[in-house]
Amino acid sequence: MTSHDLPRLVIAAPASGHGKTMVATGLIAALRATGLQVSGHKIGPDYIDPGYHALAAGRVGRNLDPWLVGPEQILPLLLHGANTPGRADVAVIEGVMGLHDGAVGRGRFASTAQVAELLASPVLLVLDTTAQGRSAAALVLGMVLFDPAVRIAGVILNRVGSDRHERLLREALDEVGVPVVGAIARSDAVVTPSRHLGLVPAAERHREAQDIVAALGQLIADQVDLEAVLDIARSAPPLSGEQWRPAGQVQRCGDAVVAVAAGPAFTFGYAETTELLTAAGATVAYFDPVRDAVLPEGTAGVVIGGGFPEMHAEALSANAALRSQLATFDGPIYAECAGLLYLCRELDGAPMVGRIDATATMSPRLRLGYREAVAAHDSAVAVTGRRVNGHEFHRTVTDPSYGEQPAWYLGGDQHGAATGFIRDRITASYLHTHWAGHPDAAERFVASCIAVAGGP
């Protein structure tokens, strides 16, 4: 086992809405401004927060999700992110929901607390102090005592109303022995606008997002004791384990150009997906379905991930040249959620690619949660019966909801609910997956591209 000395800390909260993303993003930016190399990570399946982490850190934001990749991969993936493209001086890991909230019905599994324990990482608790006085100390003490495997090393007070309020809170927390390392005043000066699924992705509003990240960095630098935070991060013990490496997960199948959708409509994806494709022999070429009239030269396969195509339906529809090319493209296509919608006949009345015989519309209901899935048929990414863990995250529906050959059965066996479509070398569904949890998908996809293109 290799020993790794990586200063690190987890940013957590008692519940959603306390300001984790604001603090984590601002902390990454503030530490980077001091000259440190910072690696940003997000617990859970969320795609949006890592985009802000990436802007703040100047390197790819990464996800750490025990449900999607398995608990055994959390440490290796942290080390991979902290050493790619170069070694980070400190890792900032943003939690998900409340500190102890995990997958529904599975206790602490996939919770921030579980990941903090897996990584032997100290926790910095962000606390919304609105309408709270000394009771804030009781809440923090309860969080400290609830799970002895989790070490809460400090608190950042958020939305503090006044100097007097801050003194009261600091005195109360001093009584329970938890240090306060920062206090952020109640203010609307820094906001991250929301949309029906959460924050607006940074890639959709890059210039404004850069300004927000810079303002968050300054806010944290002004109101948080960065040296105290670094002392907490440096208190984390050395990690013993091996770094995740894409080339160690897949066999190289040959050479093929795989076009991956990008741009404002398709911002949801995990960095490890393209790293695994590359390791399997793909040359990854990005294209923007809003702006690019043709696929990258030599494209043998296409990957279209998630995002908000409903916000860009008119622009996607207006790019008739690319839609026409995709309508006759003969290679494998893998599509998740937004990619599924783009491949349908239409989205909210706007013509789309038309490769999936279904229409897509917005829905008042949010479908959100972890899913167990079994491959319903052989496809370019899985053999029949392959079990994977994924998640859903959408406010749209398709009619019909699945095709004659569904992509997956949900629920963990082949008697579950059918979902998605397989046809003409296309695999499309609402299911989001993290290929680090089943890297054979990348290997199989590249091999399929090579086979269709007539490669060796």
Give the dihedral of Cα atoms 370, 376, 380, 383; nearest 10 deg. Answer: 100
Residue 449 annotated to the active site: no
DSSP type of residue 3: E
DSSP string, 35-90: T--EEEEEESS-SHHHHHHHHHHTS--EEE-HHHH-GGGHHHHHHHHHTSSS--SE
Dist. CA 375–CA 384, nearest whole Å:
5
Query: What single string gives the DSSP state of each residue in 112-163?
Result: HHHHHHHTT--EEEEEE-TT-STHHHHHHHHHHHH-TTS-EEEEEEEEE--H
Beta strands at 3-4 and 239-240: parallel, antiparallel or unpaired: antiparallel
Measured in Å, how far apart are the chain's first and last C-alpha atoms?
38
8-state DSSP, 200: P
HEC profile of 326-376: HHHCCCCEEEECHHHHHHEEEECCEECCCCEEEEEEEEEEEEEEEEEEEEC
Q: Dihedrals φ, ψ of 299, to 5°?
A: -55, 125
One-letter amino acid at 110 equals A
User: Active site residue: 253, 337, 344, 449, which one?
Assistant: 337
**Per the structure block, which two tokens stand in for 64?**
């750490």
Instruction: Please list, in sequence order, all residues whose beta carbon lies within 8 angstroms of the beta carbon of residue 310, skipping any fewer than 6 positions away.
Output: 341, 347, 348, 362, 396
List of residues 6+ apart from 425 with CB closer than 8 A: 330, 331, 332, 333, 380, 448, 452
Backbone angles phi, psi at 265, to 5 degrees: -85, -20
CB-based contact 80:244 (threshold 8 Å): yes
- List CB contacts of 304: < 8 A, sequence separation 6 or more: 260, 261, 266, 289, 333, 334, 335, 336, 338, 339, 342, 343
Dihedral class, residue 97 (left if φ above 0, else alpha if ψ from -120 to 50, else beta):
left
Give catalytic residue positions: 337
